[in-house]
Structure 1
Amino acid sequence: MSEIPALHALFGGTFDPIHYGHLRPVEALARQVGLQQVTLLPNNLPPHRPQPAASAAQRVAMVKLAIADRPLFRLDERELQRATPSWTVETLAELRLERGDRQPLAFIIGQDSLLSLHTWHRWQDLLSLCHLLVCQRPGYATKMESAELQQWLDAHLTDDTTLLHRQPAGLIFLADTPLVPVSATEIRQRRRRGESLDDLLPPAVTAFIDREGLYSE
């Protein structure tokens, strides 16, 4: 019997800009779950939030700078090559076709996204394509908004990380990750005030933002 491929995790976002609030919780999650690699998927046209201030090319450049000395991460630009909204379920379906039915796939989201998952495009198809790995987020509820949604969550929850590696999809893992309260709003506010961003961003990303004159308005 052939060996099951290694669990592959994906993490999407606008990354406008990428910051420690993205990187550090995912690094902690990787240690907890035993991930060898996490693929970052920058969104092109995020359907649920305002459009990015930085261009796609600028956001890719910042991601590359942020992960240059972080071998856990790799970059996948496929969503940036679409002219349509970045529907997660369609990206996952594409990846599932590429990787085959046996590949364990996981999609990393924040607690805020879990709570609003029922508003996502074809959200009920997600667990047929992947596992969900959920990072804590400061200030968000720990229960779903309805009994029906909570029942759905409870039915898929696992605290056994080995199952994530053995099954291709279908489970939800609530990770005990550090709360890193960094936001793009705070980055913009500090930029406008001329304050340091050193505790929020990798130095190479800060230098790029300075060179490009981003987020100062």
Structure 2
Amino acid sequence: MSDNQELHALFGGTFDPIHFGHLKPVEALAAMTGLSKITLLPNNVPPHRPQPEATPAQRVAMVRLAIAGNPLFDLDLREMERETPSWTFETLTALRQTRGEKQPLAFIIGQDSLLSLHKWHRWQDLLSLTHLLVLKRPGYNNQLETPELQQWLSKHLTADPRQLHASPAGKIYLASTPLLAISATEIRTRRHHNQPCDGLLPAAVLAFINDAGLYRNP
């Protein structure tokens, strides 16, 4: 074992806004793998998608409201302090320096991100820094793009959560978490069309969105 250090996970995202499609699958993942802490990493400048509608301060406020009183979650704002794209490799390198070499660390991604991982900055070095925990996504393929990528995946796969605790990095775990077809895009679209979003995100987050007048047409 890694000096009996607990497995901690990191979960990055734009969180524009944070919703139950983010929260419920990772809570199920924590129960499934024995995770003791999930650190949310809001992106300031996401490299692979359009820029957020809400301001960085509003997105952080929504995350704080969503995780208030839940000891599973904490918040890391290092990516918010960057004016350049949030490259996962660089964030993980910095986190590894603060957490130490022996801390078992896992980075949570969606199945959609796994399928495009080979396009990420320094993707082949990620597993030297972290495990990958992959959440199922509705409607996505289970096969990677090429036989070589599929072979890379097979080499690192584990179905045993104990292996995630036993080493600091290097494994990929495909999680059969609940499939919640909720997206931030859907929530923003519903808001733009004055449609209700109850049940899609925490009540405190929805109250904040209403108070701030977010995701309304200009």
TM-score interval for Structure 1 and Structure 2 normalised by the shorter chain = over 0.9
RMSD: 1.2
Aligned counterparts of 1:73 and 1:134: Cα–Cα separation in 2: 18
Residues 84-103 of structure 1, C-alpha deviations (whole Å, 9 max, x = no match): 11000001001111111111
Q: Hey, what does 1:34 align to over in structure 2?
A: 34
Shift, 1:194, TM fit: 2.1
SS in 2 for 1:44: coil
Shift, 1:2, TM fit: 8.3
Most deviating of 63-72 and 123-132: 63-72
Aligned counterparts of 1:2 and 1:75: Cα–Cα separation in 2: 24
Aligned counterparts of 1:68 and 1:25: Cα–Cα separation in 2: 18
Residues 159-202 of structure 1, C-alpha deviations (whole Å, 9 max, x = no match): 01101001000000000100011112211221123222111110
Q: Hey, what does 1:138 align to over in structure 2?
A: 138
> Is residue 112–residue 140 contact of structure 1 (8 Å, CA) maintained in 2?
yes
Q: 1:145 to 1:2 in 2, by over 3 A?
A: closer
Q: Percent identity?
A: 68
What does 1:50-65 correspond to in 2, within 5 Å?
A: 50-65=50-65
Q: Hey, what does 2:94 align to over in structure 1?
A: 94
Q: 1:110 to 1:2 in 2, by over 3 A?
A: closer
Count of matched residue pairs: 217
Q: Hey, what does 1:216 align to over in structure 2?
A: 216
What does 1:1-217 correspond to in 2, within 5 Å?
A: 3-217=3-217
Aligned counterparts of 1:129 and 1:94: Cα–Cα separation in 2: 10
Aligned counterparts of 1:48 and 1:188: Cα–Cα separation in 2: 19
| Alignment-mate amino acid for residue 103 of structure 1 | Q
Q: Which runs of 5+ in 2 are unaligned?
A: none
| Alignment-mate amino acid for residue 51 of structure 2 | Q
Aligned counterparts of 1:76 and 1:97: Cα–Cα separation in 2: 14
Aligned counterparts of 1:184 and 1:177: Cα–Cα separation in 2: 19
Structure 2 length normalisation: TM-score? Answer: 0.97
Residues 83-137 of structure 1, C-alpha deviations (whole Å, 9 max, x = no match): 1110000010011111111111000000000000000000001000000000000
Aligned counterparts of 1:156 and 1:3: Cα–Cα separation in 2: 22
| Alignment-mate amino acid for residue 215 of structure 1 | Y
Shift, 1:79, TM fit: 0.4
Aligned counterparts of 1:178 and 1:2: Cα–Cα separation in 2: 30
> Is residue 42–residue 77 contact of structure 2 (8 Å, CA) maintained in 1?
yes
> Is residue 158–residue 171 contact of structure 2 (8 Å, CA) maintained in 1?
yes
| Alignment-mate amino acid for residue 175 of structure 2 | A
SS in 2 for 1:165: helix
Residues 45-102 of structure 1, C-alpha deviations (whole Å, 9 max, x = no match): 0100001110100000000000013221111001000111100000100111111111
| Alignment-mate amino acid for residue 195 of structure 1 | Q
